[in-house]
Amino acid sequence: MKTKVILPQSLRTLTLLFLLMFLAVIMATGVTSYIATHATVAALVDQRLATISDALISDGQGGLQGVTARVVDASNQRDTADLGYILRGPGGKLLFGNVRLMRTPPAGFSSLDRSAGIAGLTHGRAFVRELGGGASLTTIGETEPIDNYNDARLAIYLLGYGSIVLIVLGGVAAFSLTIGRRISALNTTAMAIINGDLARRVPEGGSRSEFDRQARTFNSMLDRITALMEEIGNVTGDIAHDLRTPLARLRGQLMALQATAIEPVTTRGIRDAIEQCDNILAMFSAILRIGEIEAGNRRAGFALVALADVVAEVADMLAPVAADQGQTLVAQAEPGIEIAGDQALLVQLIVNLVENAIRHTPRGTAIYLSLRRGGGDAIITVQDNGPGIAADRRALALRRFGRIDKARDGGGHGLGLPLAVAISTLHHGSLSLSDAAPGLLVTVKLPLG
């Protein structure tokens, strides 16, 4: 069974999520270790205060005087002189004190800070032991042996963890930038291939890195596809060539026969046969031509083409043909629309669309050819008010040899529209058929660049 795990999909979200989690963890670690060190130091100081306090009291040996003597002694000893001592006798009378406190802390352990009023003490611990009858011994130790030690420690923490955060941030940024760049290089190449530039390859470095290995694998895949495409092209070319030669002979023989034929029936029969030969040959030419255009090499020769001129040329060319068929051809072109393209092929594209309308519609049909700008595209439409093509058969009309109605066909080899599609695609454009209610509307969209 496939389990569904919802994970963020984009590289950016993943990176941000990782960074947030990383920051949360690093802050938690920092705060925890800061607090823990603090607590450890306090515990060690407490332990020392308790031990020394025990030794000074020594279960009350020598009475209060004995304790006093030991406290005085301790306050003079090098290893215990850093502590503060306040010894109070019965009734709280001060017997000895090397420090002064603003207020007496409660019995047991407590924390002290600057407010305790001891000079040089910023943070410390106090341990108060009741000795009975109001007498008490207070020992005081610093938890911050050096002034502003805690502030310095905080700064060290911030610097340490901060640099870790910075390094990780930089690393992640570099990482996601590298991956992002590689992915977009792959994308650009794939898009170029889709648009017919089969020679395009992903840039690859000579290293053994995963990226370069992936680029190399991707490029070998493309090489293989190109080789296959070329093979297909060669096979098509070979078939067309190999069939052309025998057809050429057949046509030659028919021509020779025609020259010697006497019976009109035979002459007509031979003429029809020659015509059939010519149709097959025209079909081969069209197949080869579509293949040539689909290969995309023609883009190399693209130049700026003024589309209004192309439309005007086609209208001049075909208006008399339409008129002879009792049809009208009207052209309307928005001036100043230019695209990078192959002028001869663009003429052929529009000729094919208009000829298609002329051949497939009855007398009295009005054909409109128009050129306008729309949404970043040059939009060329050929519309007629003839019988149109049923919605479910339109896709068939764009396919090679997808002739809709062979009986009604007014000539041609059924490759006029597929050739128009190939030319549109060569110009990064599209061709679509729709209902002009009544009639057929062919729309060609060619991006302006």
Partner 1 sequence: MDVLLVEDDTLLSAQLASSLDGFGHRVTVVGDGQAALATVAQTSFDAIVLDRMLPVVDGLSVLARLRQQGISCPIILLTALGRLAEKVEGLDGGADEYLVKPVDPIELNARLSAARRGREWAAPQKDTITVGDIVVSPASHRAWRAGEAIDLSKVEFGILTELARNAGAVVTREMLYERLWGPEFVPTTNLAEAHMRRLRQKLTAGGRNDPILTVRGVGYKIKE
By CB under 8 A, name the binding residues for partner 1. Answer: 237, 240-241, 244-245, 247-249, 251-253, 255-256, 259, 277, 281-282, 285-286, 288-289, 292, 297, 313, 316-318, 320-321, 323-324, 344-345, 347-348, 351-352, 355, 358-359, 411-413, 416
- State the nearest-atom distance from the C-beta of 343 to partner 1, in Å: 8
Nearer to partner 1, 117 or 362 (CB): 362
CB of 258 to partner 1, least distance (A): 10
Q: Residue ranges of the alpha helices (H) in 262-342?
A: 264-294, 307-324
Instruction: Give the DSSP H or E segment for 354.
Output: helix 343-360
Query: Given phi > 0 = left and psi -120 to 50 = alpha, else beta, which region is 236?
Result: alpha
Instruction: For the CB of residue 272, give the shortest distance to partner 1 in the complex, in Å.
Output: 12
Distance of CA 341 to the CA centre of its chain: 30
User: What minimum distance in Å lies between the beta carbon of 300 and partner 1?
Assistant: 10
- Our CB check for partner 1 shows the closer of 237 and 269 to be 237
* Alpha carbon separation from 335 to 308, 322, 378 (Å, rounded): 6, 24, 11
One-letter-per-residue 3-state SS of 211-271 = HHHHHHHHHHHHHHHHHHHHHHHHHHHHHHHHHHHHHHHHHHHHHHHHHHCCCHHHHHHHH
CA distance 213 to 211: 5
Q: Which is nearer to partner 1, 15 or 352 (CB)?
A: 352
Residue type, 247: L
Report in angstroms how near the CB of residue 412 gets to partner 1 at its nearest: 4
State which residue, 12 or 271, has the beta carbon closest to partner 1.
Answer: 271
- Residue the block writes with tokens 């009858």: 133
Q: Token pair 């092209």 is at which residue?
A: 233
Q: Which is nearer to partner 1, 216 or 289 (CB)?
A: 289
Nearest CB to partner 1, comparing residues 224 and 241? 241
Query: From the CB of 193, what's the least distance to partner 1, in Å?
Result: 21
Q: By three-state DSSP, how is residue 87 classified?
A: strand
Q: Are strands 328-333 and 366-374 parallel, antiparallel or unpaired?
A: parallel
What is the nearest approach in angstroms of partner 1 to the Cβ of residue 399? 18
| Residue among 101 and 317 whose Cβ is closer to partner 1 | 317
